[in-house]
């Protein structure tokens, strides 16, 4: 079964709830939580992981991954504070307006991304909130 837009919006709502519940509202908050795994409490095997990963031009990006066991990572956010940008990655059964096509994953989900010209987590959360509201 593919990830519908409605289901993806629900996943993003869950991710926003996790960030809110853990008091994560800035890049500094991400920095202090690198390496943690947060159970999402919505389904067996749903969890959020925060890492600091290699990125473009020798920099590193904070990576927030919403992971569903057996389905992969339907939502991932990268925040590159050094280069001042963020990227939202999603997987769904169709292309979402405003996102760029990246390809398909092993489960035939459409991988897509949206680049944002800032590394401000509060603004990024507002972008996710507007995605959920559509």
Residue ranges of domains in the chain: 5-129
Question: What is the structure's pLDDT at 42?
Answer: 65
d(CA 70, CA 31): 28
Question: What is the structure's pLDDT at 4?
Answer: 94
Question: What is the structure's pLDDT at 13?
Answer: 95
Question: What is the structure's pLDDT at 43?
Answer: 64
What is the chain's mean pLDDT, rounded? 93
Residue with tokens 């992981």: 49
Name the band, by pLDDT with cuts 50, 70 and 90, for residue 29.
very high
pLDDT at residue 1 is higher than 70: no
pLDDT, tens digit (0-9, with 9 covering 90-100), for 70-114: 889 999 999 999 999 999 999 999 999 999 999 999 888 999 999
Q: Where are the beta strands (DSSP E) in the chain?
A: 37-39, 46-54, 60-68, 72-80, 85-92, 100-104, 110-116
**Alpha helix (H) ranges present in 1-134?**
5-21, 27-31, 121-133
pTM, whole model, 2 decimals?
Answer: 0.94
Do residues 119 and 26 make contact, with C-beta atoms less than 8 angstroms apart?
A: no
DSSP class of residue 87?
E
Question: What is the structure's pLDDT at 112?
Answer: 97
């Amino acid at each position: 079964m593919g990830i519908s837009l409605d289901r993806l919006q629900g996943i993003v709502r869950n991710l926003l709830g996790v960030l809110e519940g853990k008091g994560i509202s800035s890049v500094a908050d991400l920095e202090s939580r690198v390496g943690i795994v947060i159970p999402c409490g919505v389904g067996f095997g749903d969890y959020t992981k925060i890492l600091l990963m290699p990125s473009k031009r020798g920099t590193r990006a904070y990576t927030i991954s919403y992971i569903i066991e057996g389905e992969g990572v339907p939502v991932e956010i990268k925040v590159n504070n050094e280069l001042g940008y963020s990227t939202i990655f999603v997987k769904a059964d169709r292309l979402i307006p405003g996102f760029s096509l990246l390809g398909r994953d092993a489960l035939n989900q459409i991988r897509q991304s949206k680049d944002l010209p800032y590394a401000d987590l509060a603004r990024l959360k507002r972008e996710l909130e507007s995605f959920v509201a559509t």
